[in-house]
Amino acid sequence: MTRITGRNFLFVPGPTNVPDRVQRAMMVAMEDHRSSKFPDLSMSVLNDLKKVFKTEDGQVFIFPSSGTGAWEAALTNTLSPGDKVLASSFGQFSHLWIDMALRLGFDVEVQEVEWGEGVPLERTEEALRADSKHEIKAVLACHNETATGVSSDIGGLRKAMDAAGHPALLCVDAVSSLASIDFRMDEWRIDLAVSGSQKGLMLPAGLGILAVSPKALEAMKTAESKRCYFDLADMIAANASGYFPFTPALPMLYGLRESLDIIFEEGLEDVFLRHNYLAEGVRAAVTEGWKLSLCAKNPEWYSDTVSAVMLPDGANGAHVIDVAFRRYNLALGAGLSKVAGKLFRIGHLGDLNELMLMGAICGAEMAMLDVGVDVKSGSGAAAASNYWRSHDPFPKRKASKEEQFYEAHSTGSVQG
């Protein structure tokens, strides 16, 4: 029987839930993207995205693409064929960026890392120190590896590069971290920061977003890689007056405007606190409730946007995911490549709260029980509930007179 009632519970680590406000904002009539009014929209989102990247000096570009397009733009605009880049591979998405660099003709020095760990800071520093001729032109790093639920210390990576005294560009994939996990482009001196619309920005897939430092813009002058659609020089010329060198994704830009408004209304720092708080509840469900482990090897690697739940030997993550979807209308993330079938992933980023995550936890638990995974019924929800009820990342606010009145009546301290 096909389920047609109720709402699909989307808890993959992207695309994420699109808020109703954002959906309404995208329901607009088409308009002339060459009109004198259009720059009001385009310049506002380009300038406000800088606040999300935490950059004053960088320049932001928006392409009608996915984050993969922004990956390509970052590489081809700043490097030449044959240039050497250093990259660590510790999950499917760090692997795919490396694969792209190889296919684009760059010489990639790959540092293989056990899946469940992140960027190896000491090994990176050693590799850069050994490169006395500065042949390495860029370091590629994935801030949040979605496949394994691992976040890397990008601030620590910058310190490692500085300790080695190396001038390479620092290129960071922030697709599943931007607007969810603290990201500091200027402070960490990131030269190229790649993101997309379908994660923390709470939009459908369709926008590739790239933030570029002045140092990276300078590198464009000598970069010889071929590019056309992703040529930043064309974008710089058109964006200067608020336009694009191609037809932009107009409804997506209106949605982005609304999404940025939502983020700033909550407060960017509070967005980070909320994601950490919600993630801790999920981790409590996994480790304390279900007595299972995460793919991330240590707490230092734990991601606040996705948890990859390791299953016991003999259990198949694909079966859990299939039952969750067909029986309970719950979408969970699959294990990819090296961890295919060994885990399932719960995405907890974007527009969500405790009760929404309770649905994901309960649905995942029921699916595990259905396929024979030995977890205690209700244990995950209980552990998450205990964490969320005993922790509050936000300052307590003083109750209003109306709230005090209702609380007094509900406790019986006021006689009717």
The DSSP line for 42-82 is HHHHHHHHHHHHT-SS-EEEEEES-HHHHHHHHHHTT--TT
Which one is predicted more confidently, 404 or 51? 51
**Tokens representing residue 20 in the block:** 């109703």
Q: Which residues share a beta bridge with 89?
A: 112
| pLDDT at 50 exceeding the cut of 80 | yes
* 9-15+266-390 under CATH 3.90.1150.10, yes or no: yes
- 280-323: per-residue pLDDT in tens? 999 999 999 999 999 999 999 999 999 999 999 999 999 999 99
Please say whether the beta carbons of 366 and 404 come within 8 A: no
Residues in the chain: 416
Mean pLDDT of 346-373: 98
**Tokens 């310049």 — which residue?**
43
Find the DSSP H helices in 181-244: 214-219, 232-239
Residue intervals in the chain for CATH 3.40.640.10: 21-264
Q: Is the peptide bond before 15 cis (omega within 30 degrees of 0)?
A: yes
**DSSP for 289-347, written as a single string:** IS--EESSSSGGGB-SSEEEEEPPTT--HHHHHHHHHHHH-EEEEEP-GGGTTTEEEEE
∠ CA 206-211-213, rounded to 5°: 165
CB-CB contact of 90 with 115 (8 Å): yes
pTM: 0.93
Measured in degrees and rounded to the nearest 5, phi and psi for residue 85 equal: -130, 150
Confidence label for 394 from pLDDT (cuts 50, 70 and 90): confident
Q: Is residue 412 pLDDT above 60, yes or no?
A: no
What are the DSSP calls for 241-293, one per residue?
Answer: TT--SS---HHHHHHHHHHHHHHHHH-HHHHHHHHHHHHHHHHHIIIIIS--E
pLDDT reading at 1 higher than 90: no
Q: Which residue has the tokens 């907890």?
A: 348
Section 231-235 average pLDDT? 98
Beta bridge partners, 328, equal: none
Provide the token pair at 92. 């499917």
Residue range 84-108, pLDDT digits in tens: 999 999 999 999 999 999 999 999 9
Structure token pair of residue 397: 């606010």
pLDDT at 393: 75
Other Cβ atoms less than 10 A from the Cβ of 121: the count is 18
pLDDT band at 241 (very low <50, low <70, confident <90, very high): very high
> Which DSSP letter does residue 101 get?
H
Q: Which amino acid is at 6?
A: G
How many whole angstroms separate alpha carbon 210 and alpha carbon 239? 13
Write out pLDDT tens, residues 53-71: 999 999 999 999 999 999 9
The segment(s) of the chain belonging to CATH 3.90.1150.10 are: 9-15+266-390
CATH fold label, 21-264: Aspartate Aminotransferase; domain 2 (3.40.640)
What does the mean pLDDT of the chain come to?
A: 95
C-beta separation of 93 from 70 below 8 A:
no
Yes or no: say if 309 and 148 are a contact pair by the CB < 8 Å rule.
no
Residue of 193, 133, 196, 137 lying closest to 169 (CA atoms): 137
Closest Cα to residue 33, out of 247, 240, 209, 206? 247
Cβ atoms of residues 203 and 373 within 8 Å: no
Strands (E), 188-230: 192-196, 207-212
What is the model's pLDDT at position 5?
81
Q: Report helix, strand or coil for 390.
A: helix
Distances (CA, A) of 56 to 51, 52, 130, 155, 236: 8, 10, 33, 18, 17
**CA 31 → CA 4, 45, 222, distances in Å?**
35, 17, 38
pLDDT digits (tens, 9 = 90+) for 145-201: 999 999 999 999 999 999 999 999 999 999 999 999 999 999 999 999 999 999 999
Burial class (CB in 10 A: 0-12, 13-18, 19+), 306: buried
251 CB-near residues (< 8 Å, 6+ apart)? 26, 27, 28
pLDDT at 416: 38
Give the DSSP H or E segment for 150: strand 150-151
